[in-house]
Amino acid sequence: MSDKLKNPQQMFDITGRVAVVTGATGAFGSVATRILSGAGCKVVIAGGNVSALEELAAELRQDGGEISVVQKRPDSEEDCAAIVAAAVDDFGRLDILVVASGMNDVDPITEMDVSRFEKVMHANVTGSWLMSQAAGRQMISQGEGGKVVLVSSARGKLGHPAGYSAYCSSKHAVDGITKALGCEWGKHGITVNALAPTVFRSPLTAWMFEDNEDATRVREGFLARVPVGRLGEPEDLAGPLLFLVSPASDFYTGHILDADGGYTAG
């Protein structure tokens, strides 16, 4: 019997691993950062808002976390290389990448100019590709495998009637990157998966949780499609993310894990 089967907790042990989280102060990025730090990872947090990064870092350091701050977004090869270099310089290696940076821009396609479409695609698709490239180069050179987690969405599978042509396109593309790299990097022991949440509690979605007529109407319409019958909470993403970055998922790659309460199952 393998050691993992004798001691199942080892399958989820990521103590001492070095992780990078981009978009670390965003809705999902801050959740990911807290989960990884709380699980014992050394974490490089990257983003554009240095004061928010430093605030998050101070909070986690107070709890004993080892955190490094990089004020960069995955906007270019140079920026992505610098983010990975920070992990290597500060902690000696890179084991886990979570690309939580991205954006949305909502309008009917007839009202959206191409520059807005391209901005969404650059943030969600090109940024994921560039950051994966930089992290993959480092992980392959280390020769010990690694974990890459991209962020998809229910909109990577489904359309939306309210002007989501840019966002849906970008998340379908993220799913494609995930599957392609899952195939490409299997031989290196690097798993590549995407986490696809639907609505979960965050500053951006707080209005949907409010007790007023408009929020109730929208929430009830949405929940009619959610088998578990509630909106998501940040902790609902903790288990799926921990699985994707831990040894428990060593045989799971190129997949989209839908943390959506069953929303896309129906």
Mind listing the pLDDT tens digit for each residue in 134-175? 999 999 999 999 999 999 988 878 788 778 899 999 999 999
Q: Which domains does the chain have, with CATH numbers?
A: 12-197+235-259 (3.40.50.720), 201-231 (no CATH)
pLDDT, position 226: 92
Question: What would the pLDDT profile of 20-62 be if each residue is shown by its tens digit?
Answer: 999 999 989 999 999 999 999 999 999 999 999 999 999 999 9
pLDDT band for position 8 (50/70/90)? confident
What positions carry a catalytic annotation?
Answer: 167
Question: What would the pLDDT profile of 73-85 be if each residue is shown by its tens digit?
Answer: 999 999 999 999 9
**More confidently predicted of 171 and 207:** 171
pLDDT, position 128: 98
Q: For residue 140, how far is the Cα from the chain centroid? A: 21
Mean pLDDT for the stretch of residues 233-262? 94
At residue 239, the 3 state secondary structure works out as helix
* Structural tokens at position 183: 């195939």
What is the phi-psi region of residue 261: left when phi exceeds 0, alpha when psi lies from -120 to 50, beta otherwise?
left
pLDDT band for position 204 (50/70/90)? confident
Mean pLDDT across the chain: 94
Query: The pTM is what?
Result: 0.94
pLDDT, position 1: 60
Cβ-in-10-Å burial (0-12, 13-18, 19+) of 223 comes to middle
